[in-house]
Amino acid sequence: MKRKGFLILLIAVMGFSIKAQDTLLLSAHPFPLWGIINNGDTALLSAIDEAYIFPERKFKNKRDLRRYRKLIRNIKRVYPYAKIAGQKFKEVDATMATLKTEKQQKEYINRVEAEIKSQYEDELKKLTITQGRILIKLIDRETGRTSYEVVRELQGNFKAFLWQALARLFGSNLKWVFDGQGEDKLINEIVIMIERGVL
């Protein structure tokens, strides 16, 4: 029994290689593990993903279950567009900061708008009103700005006003803010589960 313990200890010690004077790397493991020596004590350094624990969903009836499943389908349909919007907005924001004149900025915005329309307009037209409302919320979640603010920043007050008026005709509001701890808590949970690969 003592021999087995000694062999395990020997293999573990051999797996460590010195990376720097006070840093260790356990290379025998399929994923590298780092350790640091501080005053003779060795501590594991590890970065792990944040863990989320959601309550088990219980439904009063089949109708509530169907609603929940429909919400999941709707979020899965629009979430990729919200991610794209968030990435595009960051790109546009960074590029706009480098452009010196207002003319260059307008040309760039028009070019980006034409590119987005050619790629996504047909797909976005197929969204339902409910999916559009969810997309408005998720854009705020991804960009940190409401859809109204995004349109206003990129296209000006007049176009933002027009798009807001159109949204209001369909019972939506481009100024909706994503509230992940309040009314949009369920949407936020579903998005996190999608991101984690659970759904």
* Annotated domain spans of the chain: 2-45, 62-195
pLDDT per residue rounded down to tens, the chain (199 residues): 555 555 455 455 544 444 444 555 555 556 666 777 777 777 776 667 777 788 888 999 999 999 999 999 999 999 999 999 889 888 988 898 888 888 888 888 889 888 888 888 889 889 999 999 999 999 999 988 888 888 888 778 888 888 888 888 888 888 899 898 999 999 999 999 999 888 8
With a CB cutoff of 8 Å and minimum separation 6, the contacts of 190 are 71, 72, 75, 199
- Neighbouring-strand partners of residue 25: 17, 34
Closest CA to 25 of 14, 40, 39: 14
CB 10 within 8 A of CB 2: no
Rounded to an integer, what distance in angstroms lies between the CA atom of residue 183 and that of residue 138? 13
The pTM (predicted TM-score) of the whole model is 0.70
